[in-house]
Every structure is written in structure tokens, then in C-alpha cells.
Structure 1
């Protein structure tokens, strides 16, 4: 099924395709995929190469043209017909959340075992054959989308003409504990950068945390904002725009209420939108699974945190891209899924990457590695780049993790690396 429409700057066609929930069981239950084809106006009938965009996450839908920051899109449309895929479980693809998952935790966990990069790649291959037959296409993977791209190079390199990766070269060897151990170090460095720019915010953040420990402050959704949940506002410290947004949020934290200092509705509304996983429950459910290559996570971020007392002592320190089991006690979007999350944390996930296939790679690859990336370890990324023949790597300290969406020059540079 296809639906076409136009909006200023974009000619769009919506595509839907039913695919197996479990690609190993093609005759079993199916789910629906949604993808939006985008082309520059007036070029709808041109024979353009296709570029599949794989969003970061996991659990995030693709950007909406004109509605989401996507500086790269205009540059891509000069050369490509772009396909924005809502990865399974997100956006307009069959959703996976507390409202739709099987009621029994064991059934929900079994269902969600099919929502990692390997299933996303196989979805993409069915889409490719549905749209363009045997022709290969290009892929652009941002963050987790880059993890998916490396899985694509492992599972179905014949489907790829070329691959672009931004902030998303995964480790092929690190255990979940090793991954989060380096992640905590990067978050500490991000805190240092943040409080160096806004030195007064450390005291403000500590005051907020102390206030939350003593007072019952409620988010607009009704649940209490706890100190540890407030601490997770550091998730955005690795993105250029959100880095400063945190400061502006803290500026308006308190008002003089009738019974003394209180957190403002402005602060509570913005904080609630940031700490809630209602719009992306898959992020919380399978985030750790995405760094499990033949192993279980067993709540790795929670266990490894014990090695970093800085996050539980003075001076105040934000945490970053870590998922903790208590999220499923405090977030109403996640509380019905606590048992499911425990089952996924104990599950031994199959391997995502094929080292032999990657070592024989012939697909041109260009990868941006951000020097101070808070989310993806630079050394792990470079180690992976070295074992993929033909991978041209651009190491830059000019951009944060969201460089692709913030600056069209990022994609332009990667295109140059491949096409020179």
C-alpha cells in the first residue's frame, strides 16, 4: 500500500509492508512496517539511487521531514531518493508498548526478542526487494542506526551499494560490562564539560536533588519525581542542542510558592517529558540488549555503576545513557513491563555480527567518529573500523553525537570520503 503527498521542499510517498515477526518463521505472525519515501520536488520520476536512513535509538521512529532536526536530509536529496524507516515497534510501524504487547511477561519477552538490529536488517531487505527488486541501495545509520548498518554488512552485504555511519560504529568484542564501564567514564567527562561551562549549575542541581528527597513533587503525569530520576536528565549531555537546554531548564527550576520554595510547573513539565519513556519504551526495554553479542546483560549498567561512587556522592553528578531496573518502578509507561524487562535482561542474546563476513567486506564504508562522543566509545569504534576493509574513518571533535542532524556538512564529508 502506498500513499503520496507533498509538502514544501519534499515529495513524499508512504509505504507499508507486512513482514514476519520472526524472520526464521516466515509463515508465522506478521507485523506491519512503515517507511516514508522522500524525494526533492520535481524529481519524483528520476532514476535516483536509494538511501535508507536508520535512526538512532533503539526505539525511536524516523525523523519527520520538516518537523524534526535533520540537516542531512536536504543534502541527501540532492543525490538520492531517501527512505525513512520507522524501525519495527516504533512510529507508524506496529507499535510495541504496554498497550500492545502480550499481557503475560514471558510472552511479551519472547515477542521483544525480535526487535534488535538483526531483525531490523532483515526487514530492510524485504523492503528493498519490495521497492527496487535486486538493485542494492545505500544506507545511512546514525548512532544505533550505525550498529544496524554494521549488522547489515554482516548479514546481507549484497543488499548494499555503500554505507555511511555517524556516531555508530559498535564494538565487536566488548561485553556489556566493558561497554558500560567506558560509558560511565564518558559521562563523567561530559559532566566536567557541562559544569565547566555552567559552574553555578552544580549547586542548583544539588539543591533540586535535595528538595526532591524531602518534598513530594509530582510530574504532570501524576507520579513523583525522585532524585534518582532527576539525575537522568544528563542523558542529553552528549547532544549539542540539549547540552545547553539543560542549563535553561535549571534556570527556571524554582518558584516562591505559598509554602516556600517549590519546583515550577515549567520545570516539572519539561523534566517529565525528558525522563518519561512513554514515547520510546523500546529504548528502555532493549537498550542493553543492543550491546549483547552472544551474552546476557543482567542489568549491566546497574551493576557497573557500583564501580563509580561519584554518581552517588557529592558533588552532584548527572548520569547518562544508562537504563536501570528501577525505571520500571517509577515510569508509568514502563511499570507494567517490569517482569518482561527482567526476563530480557537475563536472556542470552545471539550474536549480531559475523567477523568473517566483515573481514571480507567489499562495500564502501565511510564513518564519522566523534572524538568526545558521550554515547559511543571512540576507541571501540576505531577498533571496529580497522577490521572492516574499505572503511574510511573521519575522526572529528567539531561535532557532538547529533552532528548529522545539526550540520549538513557531516553527510557531505562522508559522501566525499566514499566518492573521491
Structure 2
């Protein structure tokens, strides 16, 4: 049965759209497709309410979520935003939960423990959850949904990728360029590197600039962060879910500096925590709960255990790149967290989108995966991008926006990548933030 003819699919409406919840059986390991176990991949299929009868002829617009390791949320409405624009251009929209996220065979410490007996099995399993496998899922879904179409142009996808979704798009262009008609990237033109070292050497100075801007806006937070840091360095603090709130973990709140409103959000937590120490002599449950829910590495573990792997290809491994680069000069002196090395009048700088080995002890949901994550950090990964294919693209329009002050994706590395993709139209702006 053609997927679009399946009347058993759960469906409902939101303003402007009929939504179909679709599941696809995909091979876990595409290198051994015939014998591989299957996993379930979930897609929300949105169709304009007045065009449901035209589904079999309308082209598809596929959205790839940022991350890695985050599911794609259901929009509250299709009557505004980019979904409305896609509808007006004649598309139906696919919102993919990338494998391992949301309803697509979600990965968590508990699910891995239920399925596998050894860490070897877990590592082998998790090696199939990078961009290359995500893209192959998309290609399988594209073929199934466009089966029976005689016009080849009507079988091609238009793609939109945010952040890590843009990384996936470049892999899609490398593997299946003839399956794509248009590709649009927002804040996610990936660096064409073989490992993350160059990425982090460029990232730490950008985070330093963000810290300077933060403390310029909230100068009283210099003393507040020092007080909080000293407290966390001299007291064991447990979060509601059993995780440790160490000084280093607290400084990871700087991840928010790259998004709209991020400075204010961090300031609110800093102000709340400092106020707790003044009135209670400890951090309140409310503050601890806010910090825990602000940091998503417990709920989206792929974001931690496979984050550095998104930069690895051509038989290279990450080897805890962010930690290694942090210990290089001058970063080891600038981003110092050890209490004995800090001075009373020195701002303590937050870190950002880096993954560190200490997280495997501090985050409750990462602890069971400590050995697995260490093994993955030593894994030598296969190819993600084919520069020859990207240099010679034909018949596909590619455009992307990069941001001057993007904390998450280096603009200069993105400009180099854009120069390697034939016909890439790049817009660089400071009008918007990464998210």
C-alpha cells in the first residue's frame, strides 16, 4: 500500500493544516541493509487543509531539525511562519524526528540498557545515528512517498535545515544530489573539517567575546558568579534528578549566550542563585530545578555523546576535542574554573556548546553511558561530505544564511564551505541570532 493511501494513520488538524503521523521502518545499518535490524522513524506530514485530495501530486518540503539529538516539535499553527510560506509555494511539509529522537526509536540510557547487555553492543548501535544515516532515512522516506510519480521533478525534495539540520543537508547533497531540488540552510553551513579541533580553536575566542558582552551588560554579575562559583567549588550540590551541580556544570549555562535573549536568561539564573545564597545560605529547589531544565543533556543524550562526532570523518576521531583544546594556551588561563587559581577581581567566564568528559559524572542520565561515550570519542568515523560532488552540483539551488556573531557555527569556516558548493548563495547578516 502506498503510504499516502493508508487510512489507519493517525491524523488531526491544526490551524491551516491537516497533520498525518507517519512511521517508517528503516534499516539501522544501511551498509548491511538486507540483514540489518529495523528501527522506527517518525515524520509529521502537514498538508494545507484545502489540498488534502492533492497530496499525491504536491512536492515535498522536508525540515531538518537542529541538534544533534533533538526531536522536531509540532507547530501550533500552519497559518504563519515558514510552514505558511511553504504552503503558499505549493508544498506539503514533512517534519522529521531524526533517528534516535522523539518518536523515532528514541535513545536514552534506559532504552539502551533495556536493549543491550554490553557496552560493545551499545557502541555498535550508536555508530548508526549520525548525519549519513539520518540522510539515508530521508531518502528512503522520499522514495516511498513519491512512489508512482512519473515526473522526476515531482519526486525531488526541497530541504530546510536549521543548525545541525544544515550539516545534514550538506551530507544529503554529497550522497544524493539528484534527489534535491532546493536546499536552504539557516545558521548551519558546516565546516569541512575531519575532526573538531579547528572548530573549537575558533569557538573559544567567540565565547570569550560573548562573556565580555554579558559582563558589560550585567557588571554586578561578576561578583555574583564568583560567589556562586566559590559555593559550588566548596559544597556538594545535588540537582533534583540526582545530578551534580559542579562549578564547571554551572558555567555551561553560557550555552545560552548564542541565542536571542540568552544573556537575560543566564542573568536571571545568576541573580536567583546569588539571592538564594544571601537569604538561605544554599541554592533553593526552584533555582536548582531551573538550572536542570535549562540544560538539555539529560533529556537529549545524543546531544552529548555524539556531538563531537558530527565533525569527524575520513577515519578521524574526536578524542574529547573541546577538553584538549581548552587545556591549550591561552584558553587554559582564560577559561579557568579551579578555585585556587582564581582572583577576587577577575570575571569567571562561562563556556558554551562544548562537551567535556566531566559531564559523564555530573549529568545523571549520562553516567550510565560514561564508558560508551569514552569509546565513541576514540572511534574513527567514516565520510560525511564529498567535496568533488559538492564542487560539481547541477540542477539544485542551494542557499544559506550565516550570522556574523554566531557562537555555535563559525562564520569563516562556513564561508569556506560555501565556496566549495557550486552555486551556493550565502547571505551573511547580524540581523538575526542563531536561534
Provide the TM-score with structure 2 as the length reference.
0.88
The question of 1:22 aligning with 2:32 is answered no
Q: Is the 1:55–1:145 Cα contact (8 Å) retained in structure 2?
A: yes
Displacement of 1:311 after TM fit? 0.9
- CA deviations over 1:278-319 (Å, ceiling 9, x no partner): 221001010000001221001101100012021115421000
Indicate which of 332, 336, 340 corresponds to 2:372. Answer: 340
Query: Unpaired runs of 5+ in structure 2?
Result: 1-5, 337-341
Indicate which of 122, 127, 131 corresponds to 2:136. Answer: 122
The question of 1:245 aligning with 2:265 is answered yes
Q: Distance in 2 between matches of 1:264 and 1:275?
A: 17
SS in 1 for 2:110: coil
Counterpart in the other structure of 1:279: 299
Displacement of 1:326 after TM fit? 1.3
Q: Distance in 2 between matches of 1:188 and 1:130?
A: 47
SS in 2 for 1:280: coil
Displacement of 1:198 after TM fit? 1.9
Displacement of 1:259 after TM fit? 8.4
Q: Is the 2:244–2:363 Cα contact (8 Å) retained in structure 1?
A: no
- CA deviations over 1:141-195 (Å, ceiling 9, x no partner): 1111000000000000111010000111111136311111111111111112222
Query: Unpaired runs of 5+ in structure 1?
Result: 403-420
Indicate which of 298, 304, 322 corresponds to 2:325. Answer: 304
Q: Is the 2:193–2:312 Cα contact (8 Å) retained in structure 1?
A: no
CA pair 74-202 structure 1, distance change in 2 beyond 3 A = farther
Q: Distance in 2 between matches of 1:218 and 1:255?
A: 18
The question of 1:325 aligning with 2:346 is answered no
Q: Is the 1:255–1:262 Cα contact (8 Å) retained in structure 2?
A: no
Q: Is the 1:40–1:78 Cα contact (8 Å) retained in structure 2?
A: no
Counterpart in the other structure of 1:393: 426
The question of 1:201 aligning with 2:221 is answered yes
Provide the TM-score with structure 1 as the length reference.
0.91
Counterpart in the other structure of 2:76: 66
Q: Distance in 2 between matches of 1:201 and 1:67?
A: 39
CA pair 106-199 structure 1, distance change in 2 beyond 3 A = same
Displacement of 1:78 after TM fit? 2.5
Displacement of 1:41 after TM fit? 2.6
Counterpart in the other structure of 1:157: 177
Counterpart in the other structure of 2:387: 355
CA pair 259-65 structure 1, distance change in 2 beyond 3 A = closer
1:7-406 to structure 2, matched below 5 A, reads 7-27=14-34, 28-46=36-54, 47-66=57-76, 71-79=81-89, 80-101=91-112, 102-133=116-147, 135-173=155-193, 175-255=195-275, 260-294=280-314, 295-307=316-328, 308=331, 309-312=333-336, 313=342, 314-362=346-394, 363-402=396-435
Displacement of 1:258 after TM fit? 11
Of the two, which has the highest radius of gyration? Answer: 2
- CA deviations over 1:240-266 (Å, ceiling 9, x no partner): 033321122222224568984222222
Q: Is the 1:231–1:318 Cα contact (8 Å) retained in structure 2?
A: yes
Aligned residues: 401
Q: Is the 1:237–1:243 Cα contact (8 Å) retained in structure 2?
A: yes
Q: Distance in 2 between matches of 1:254 and 1:176?
A: 35
Q: CA RMSD in A?
A: 1.9
Displacement of 1:67 after TM fit? 8.9
Q: Is the 2:158–2:183 Cα contact (8 Å) retained in structure 1?
A: yes
